[in-house]
Amino acid sequence: METLSYKCMDIDTVGPFCDCIAGGESADQAAQAFCNRAKIDKKITDEDLADLKTALMDQEEDEACCECGC
């Protein structure tokens, strides 16, 4: 399952990343929550975004493994 488009995953700054997922229908709930929090908490950094994307990619790999029965 693709949680975010690869176009959005290539963006490394919080503001543009959140703008990118704002129009996405399949944006992950965690990414949406991250962006909602980033609007309020100006301490959210690009490093926090990198951590989120790593977690989303790990989750996507785990789901893909379960689907194929590895």
Tens of pLDDT along 7-64? 888 999 999 999 998 876 667 888 999 999 999 999 999 999 999 999 988 887 777 6
Q: Which residues does 34 contact at the CB level (< 8 Å), separation at least 6?
A: 18, 44, 48, 49, 52
**CA–CA distances in Å: residue 42 to residues 26, 33, 57, 70:** 25, 14, 25, 41
User: What is the separation of C-alpha 62 from the centre of its chain, rounded to a whole number of angstroms?
Assistant: 15
Confidence of residue 3 (pLDDT cuts 50, 70, 90): low
pLDDT at site 23: 75
pLDDT at site 56: 86
pLDDT at site 17: 94
Q: Using N-to-C axis directions, what is the helix angle for 29-40 and 14-22, rounded to 10°?
A: 130
- Model pTM above 0.85: no
Tokens of 31: 């990414």
